[in-house]
Amino acid sequence: MDKKLLDILACPICKSSLIYHKEQQELICKADRLAFPIRDDIPVMLEDEARELSHEEVDALRK
């Protein structure tokens, strides 16, 4: 993920910053507990395509 692109991307719902999860190829919004997929190096920033994070996943992000 290009650092410059990550710096300008924001959650399409709440506009907060996103966390890049390299292993799962996702951009994560902690505020909304959503993970947006990255497909073929393109972030899919659609609410319908995002998956909801479990409480355990959110807790792991805080560590």
| Each residue's pLDDT tens digit, 9-18 | 999 999 999 9
- Cβ-contact 29, 13 below 8 angstroms: yes
Counted domains in the chain: 1
The pLDDT score that the predictor gives to residue 60 is 86
Question: Is 11 strand, coil or helix?
Answer: coil
Higher per-residue pLDDT: 51 or 1: 51
The pLDDT score that the predictor gives to residue 63 is 65
Angle CA 57–63–12, to nearest 5: 55
Alpha-carbon gap, residue 57 to 30, rounded angstroms? 10
Alpha-carbon gap, residue 54 to 21, rounded angstroms? 15
Q: What is the pLDDT of residues 9-60, one digit of tens each?
A: 999 999 999 999 999 999 999 999 999 999 998 999 999 999 999 989 988 8
Question: Is 3 strand, coil or helix?
Answer: helix
Q: What is the CATH number of the domain that holds 33?
A: 2.20.25.10
Question: Which residue range(s) make up the domain with 24?
Answer: 3-62
